[in-house]
Amino acid sequence: MDIGGYNVNGVVRDCLDLKNHVPYSIDLVKHEQVEVRADAHYLPFADESFTSVWSTSTLQYLDNPFMVVAEMYRVLKPGGILYLEAVTQTSEGIIGPHWKYKDQDRWRFYPKGVRALLTHAGFSEILHCDPVRITDSTPDRVWGVAKK
């Protein structure tokens, strides 16, 4: 399941094996890539429904990222994998001052912050929590991978 499935550039779907896995996306925004319009703070799924959950460049827009990561944990099956990718710089530092969502940004994350989100949610097996350098400057993002 993709949290924040209104993927502006389609990167996540392009990486999936769509022959063997059907992507299931949720977002507040209705879009052809979004199967369910819902608030990630209150996922409309039963406990332990998904084998994997991922979220890329979404955490910075949420009111309460701790609550959302706890929801991700709740809907993951035992042994399921969570993949998070979060922004560390300002929108202007990554994609310029004309980014249409820049006024909606609320948070920035670093490895210790992502580790805190994962631990607080209940993940005890954190497989990766590392900075990612997309540009030639300082790390732009941090990614975390955890197993339930």
pLDDT at residue 87, as a whole number: 78
User: In this structure, is residue 20 part of a structural domain?
Assistant: no
The total of other beta-carbon atoms located within 10 Å of residue 117's CB is 23
User: In this structure, is residue 135 part of a structural domain?
Assistant: yes
For the chain, what is the domain count?
1
Domain coverage including residue 86: 44-147
CA-to-CA dists, residue 23 to 12, 45, 52, 78, angstroms: 9, 15, 10, 20
User: In this structure, is residue 59 part of a structural domain?
Assistant: yes
Q: Residue 137 class from Cβ within 10 Å (0-12 exposed, 13-18 middle, 19+ buried)?
A: exposed
pLDDT tens per residue, range 79-108:
999 999 887 765 455 555 545 555 667 788
User: In this structure, is residue 62 part of a structural domain?
Assistant: yes
Which positions of the chain have pLDDT values less than 70?
Answer: 6-23, 89-104, 133-139
User: In this structure, is residue 26 part of a structural domain?
Assistant: no
Q: In CATH, what number is assigned to the domain containing residue 121? A: 3.40.50.150
